[in-house]
Amino acid sequence: MAQSHMGEGMQRQHDLLMRAIVAIVIGLGLLGSANAQQGRPLRLVALGDSLTAGYGLPAEAAFPAALERALRRRGFNVEVANAGVSGDTATGGLQRLDWSVPDGTDGVILELGANDMLRGFDPALTRQALEGIIQRLRARGIPVLLAGMYASRNLGPDYAARFDAVYRDLARTYGLVLYPFFLESVAGQQALNLPDGLHPTAQGVEQIVQRILPSVESFIARMRVRARAG
């Protein structure tokens, strides 16, 4: 009898969980449809370095353009501006923040730090600059999706641990949507990178977009909830 009650309880929990999952999925679908019917598109800015700018690629193959197409296919009325600058560091992004993210921006996808790591900058400096960007956008009422980066392991375990933690800690501190590794499934894949081994091909960018898309949809959903509440 006790086992029977336990089984019924577990089944109820399972049913409730499944209903919650279905509600989330349906909610995201309705969100996309509702957004598509609105007149003004949702304005996102991708603030980053060469990985955002689309180094070595035509403009239409760069990450912001590819992400915009993917979101529109899913029913979202969005514009994704390309605010990527090749060679930029987190500090560089902070210095150009005001003109890179204009008034009227609804959200920012922040992808910076790779050049800091490649140049061996102290992770504390990268954190300080990224935190400055987040705080200044927060003051303007602009939410942030943080796209993280992992340190190259040849820099040593201590550096890698300190650098990798920057993004997790900032996301936790400020309650951000975090995509842990921007180059997930692309880094180290010869077929998905240009001959320099550092920058993705157009196919590599499409892979990045498919991987990050659920996080971006979650980000948009959070923005809509916030807008309704505010």
Give the pLDDT confidence of 193-225 residue by residue, as tens digits. 999 999 999 999 999 999 999 999 999 999 988
How far apart are the C-alpha atoms of 138 and 136, rounded to whole Å? 5
All residue ranges of the chain with pLDDT < 50 are 1-37
Q: Give the global pTM.
A: 0.83
Q: What is the pLDDT of residue 189?
A: 96
Q: What is the pLDDT of residue 28?
A: 47
Measuring CA to CA, how many Å separate 11 from each of 21, 149, 178? 15, 40, 32
Structure tokens at 168: 């997790």
Q: What is the pLDDT of residue 164?
A: 98
- With vertex at residue 50, the alpha carbon angle to CA 47 and CA 53, rounded to the nearest 5 degrees, is 60
Q: What is the pLDDT of residue 38?
A: 54
How far apart are the C-alpha atoms of 184 and 61, rounded to whole Å? 18
Q: Which residues pair with 81 in a beta bridge?
A: 45
**Sign (positive/negative) of CA torsion 217, 221, 224, 230?**
negative
State yes or no: is 5 an active-site residue: no
Q: What is the pLDDT of residue 167?
A: 98
DSSP E strand stretches across the chain: 42-48, 78-84, 107-111, 144-147, 177-179
The residue from 49, 106, 116, 199 that is catalytic is: 199
The residue from 4, 5, 158, 196 that is catalytic is: 196
State yes or no: is 4 an active-site residue: no
Q: What is the pLDDT of residue 230?
A: 66
The residue from 49, 50, 106, 116 that is catalytic is: 50
State yes or no: is 33 an active-site residue: no
